[in-house]
Structure 1
Amino acid sequence: MTHFPPLEGFLAGRLEAALRKPAAQQPEWPDPRRARDAVAALSRAGPIVLPDETARLAGRLAAVARGEAFLLQGGDCAETFAGNTEAHQRGNLRTLDRMAAVLADRAGLPVVKIARMAGQYAKPRSQAVDALGLPVYRGDMINSAESTLVARTPAPERMLRAHACAVETMGLVRDFRRGGTDGDETYVSHEALLLDYERSQLWADTSGPEPRVSSGLGHFLWIGERTRQLDGAHLAFAELLSNPIGVKIGPATTPEQAVEYVRRLDPHGEPGRVTLVSRMGHSRVRDVLPPIVEKVTASGSQVIWQCDPMHGNTYLSANGYKTRRLHRMVDEITGFFEVHRQLGTHPGGIHVEVTGDDVTECLSRVPAVAEEDLPNRYETACDPRLNARQAMGLACSVAELVAAART
């Protein structure tokens, strides 16, 4: 079995220095020894992804950064152990494939597909406890959604189960694409949130301009809006990775911060190494995004500009469900394209939460899903997802925007 030899010397020192920095959104393990044992066991397990796959993705993302391709990233908000079934995962992959086919056909650009899959088991949360006073659910990798103190107590052994599920899922992803060409390859991604998990499977990578580490846990990793602190452990960890990296940037992001993210994560000017994922909200994207794009572009960096139209448009419905309106998502993407058209830059992709399951979690006119329909099939473990029909409607709208941007 392939394993991960311990990092030595310079890289080991840099990794430990990074992980000593303040780290937001980490669980408090009741027994640190059990956590260390779990990390050690993970380091002996087989990888989920391989370095040559990650290198292929890096090459394809360079094409996106140059304006020669479009990036489609999507899948579950949060994977769950119960939802790790072949039917569910294949449904999600089919939805991503169909969205990509519409984009490629109507927009006339190759599409790079990255699934939120094979590792998206941890979630950042806005509060430490829920309305019952229990520790908040942080994703199946950390604790259970069941509303008891025992279930909500973080258990580090859950990292091992998450890894085993991710290995199964990656096997399914490879099987789904078997017989296809490299152009059809689907890559996997997750938020690099739980640092005990992320540190467990790292290769020394000396193939680039400086020694880095390559993660065996996912092809593409991103740093979330709640963990992008410039003095924090997550960004310092991401600096060490040779994997392509995303950073979610919300409306509070300043142009200077955005430039600093790029400077630290892409010091050698590698096209497509960094993806800046704007999640501004439909009412703010046209005002907040332009100075960020201008400042980063003036720095000379070739980043990928990607739009997350979901997180800035989330609200609580009158009947108590967290939801999103499809037309607001389309409006945010439209504003994202307008900004890039005005500035002469490439609107490189979208990052969405979608499922092939026939859920009723987001509101839309076609198919008709109203607030009173939300309880029918509201199944997400965290945030609301587009169902397959809604996802295809969004893809058609985006395809028209991509086509118009190329004229």
Structure 2
Amino acid sequence: MSDTWLPSSWREKPIAQDVKYPDEKHLATVLSKLSTLPPIVTPQEIERLRYQLGLVQRNEAFLLHAGDCAESFDACTHENISSKIGLILSFSLILVWGARLPVVRVGRIAGQYAKPRSSSFENVGGREVLSFRGDNVNGLDVNDRTPDPERLLRAYFHSTTTLNYLRGLLTSGFASLHHPRDWSLTHVRSPSLRREFETIVDGLSDALDFSRTIGVESNSTSYERGGGRGTLGEVDFYTSHEGLMLAYEEALTREFTSSKKKHYYNTSAHFLWIGDRTRQLTGAHVEYFRGIRNPIGIKVGPSMEAGELSRLLDIVNPDKETGRVTLITRYGARKIDDHLAGHISAVQKSGHPVAWICDPMHGNTLTSSSGLKTRNFGTIIEELTACLRIHNACNSRLGGVSLEFTGELNEEGFSVTECVGGSMELSEEELGLRYQSFCDPRLNFEQSLDVAFLISNHFKQERRNGNKPGSVDGPDVLYSELGGRPQTPNEV
């Protein structure tokens, strides 16, 4: 592999998940326009995230990577954005309270419009059509499946609109710790969850009152030394998406000087990841990712060989820089014991600094008897607890989670019904009530907070053990805290 790198170097490599546009001239015009538009995020924000991910690698912070499987242009509304950010803030508050660690918040937001597909075509109503590849490529309607370059421009403007509102929301007091009830309690209908969240809020209020009484001001900590009060005001918040559409990513890659050195930054998002379908060592995506300064994620699934993972790290992070690489494991509850320990061992032997985070969603998707894609809350927890157990056994540590969840509510104020189980014991028969995802099923508000409390309780127990990794509660113990094991949908 050549040491010479340019944002266009990927074009010389074989590309997976490529999109064929019928009008290449139109595409070139759109990409030229994108290359002149202002950056969506700044190098200073990207560097700050790299610093904080370095803390995650040193077990001094916890990473929450969360949001939609794929965003839609239509979902770019102030209600949806506010609900999503409120859920992320609620989840991170629960983690901070239990783990006593800062939480690095990275949303799958403001750019997560593309989706990989296993086939270029799909059958819809007995008709073979081009697969839906996400709103930045084509339409969900079967009559709108021709890839349209103008959708890349629409993706740019929807991303900037989303981030602009997000910045305004978080700098106007929405994230203030003085009123966290506004994030969750109007949405949560589970009595047990409301009680647990109220306990945290009451404790937080007492702590804030005490600090105010004795005149304690917020002091700079090692977490804050990355620069400034926070990327988006009162709290740090970063954006991410899968770096799937390389022509789009190239158009938004700009050269800046940082620490007296010139670097190429992808200014479409703070954090980008390589998917399990596009991580070929000699492929276009790995070639592109190795040259950008952004911190990157790599999805690691059961098809990844241990030696392949080590070689991939050598390519994308040859200097073994901290804060650069996050490994997002996604095996499925039935396969994690066969693969995770070997991957941990390979990385430990390689000497590469990485943050390990668990994606318990993607390996656990199934089809219900009604034909809807779903996920079982119980299986998600099984993979998560197995991940904690295996990391402990390998003298490693889980540094975060990657979840597909939503704070989206319908007009009556009810959460979506896409995954079964959780404290509300959502059954398979209830999936069709408020199934709103056009992509993969997401945890709803209550189910997401269920996961937050389970992780928080794990780290709270660990702190009681003197911050020494100990035994991990099995799924049955965790389910008992939520009112019993969730029902299992039929796998067909």
Query: Scaled by the length of structure 1, what TM-score is found?
Result: 0.94
Change in Cα spacing, 1:339 to 1:125, as seen in structure 2 (3 Å) is same
Helix, strand or coil at the partner of 1:323? strand
- The reply to whether residue 309 of structure 1 matches residue 365 of structure 2 is no
1:167 to partner: Cα distance: 0.2
Change in Cα spacing, 1:155 to 1:112, as seen in structure 2 (3 Å) is same
Give the whole-Å Cα distance in 2 for the aligned partners of 1:210 and 1:369. 53
Match of 1:324 in 2: 375
Matched AA of 1:162: A
Runs of 4+ in 1 over 6 A off after TM superposition: none
Contact 1:270 1:302 in 2 (8 A): yes
Contact 2:422 2:447 in 1 (8 A): no
Match of 1:19 in 2: 11
Contact 1:80 1:121 in 2 (8 A): yes
Give the whole-Å Cα distance in 1 for the aligned partners of 2:141 and 2:441. 19
Give the whole-Å Cα distance in 2 for the aligned partners of 1:366 and 1:102. 16
Give the whole-Å Cα distance in 2 for the aligned partners of 1:239 and 1:121. 22
Contact 2:8 2:250 in 1 (8 A): no
Match of 1:6 in 2: none
- The reply to whether residue 139 of structure 1 matches residue 196 of structure 2 is no
Within 5 A, what are the aligned runs for 1:94-243? Answer: 94-131=86-123, 132-148=127-143, 151-178=144-171, 181-182=229-230, 184-207=235-258, 212-243=263-294
Match of 2:390 in 1: 339
Change in Cα spacing, 1:211 to 1:292, as seen in structure 2 (3 Å) is farther
Match of 1:5 in 2: none
Contact 2:7 2:253 in 1 (8 A): no
Which of 363, 377, 381 is equivalent to 2:438?
381
**Deviations, residues 311-362 of structure 1 (Å, cap 9, x unaligned):** 0000111110111011111111111111111111121100000100111111
Change in Cα spacing, 1:33 to 1:113, as seen in structure 2 (3 Å) is same
What fraction of aligned residue pairs are identical, expressed as a percent? Answer: 37
Give the whole-Å Cα distance in 1 for the aligned partners of 2:169 and 2:433. 30
Change in Cα spacing, 1:365 to 1:96, as seen in structure 2 (3 Å) is closer
Give the whole-Å Cα distance in 2 for the aligned partners of 1:330 and 1:142. 34
Match of 2:459 in 1: 402
Contact 2:422 2:446 in 1 (8 A): no
Q: Unpaired segments of 5 or more residues in structure 2?
A: 176-228, 409-414, 469-492
Contact 1:68 1:109 in 2 (8 A): yes
Give the whole-Å Cα distance in 2 for the aligned partners of 1:353 and 1:59. 25
Contact 1:205 1:242 in 2 (8 A): no
Give the whole-Å Cα distance in 1 for the aligned partners of 2:36 and 2:22. 23
Contact 2:422 2:450 in 1 (8 A): no
**Deviations, residues 278-314 of structure 1 (Å, cap 9, x unaligned):** 0000111122100110110121111000100000000
Helix, strand or coil at the partner of 1:177? helix
Q: Unpaired segments of 5 or more residues in structure 1?
A: 1-9
Matched AA of 1:51: P
Change in Cα spacing, 1:78 to 1:334, as seen in structure 2 (3 Å) is same
- The reply to whether residue 349 of structure 1 matches residue 342 of structure 2 is no
Give the whole-Å Cα distance in 2 for the aligned partners of 1:365 and 1:262. 37
1:225 to partner: Cα distance: 0.6
Match of 1:263 in 2: 314
Matched AA of 1:120: Q
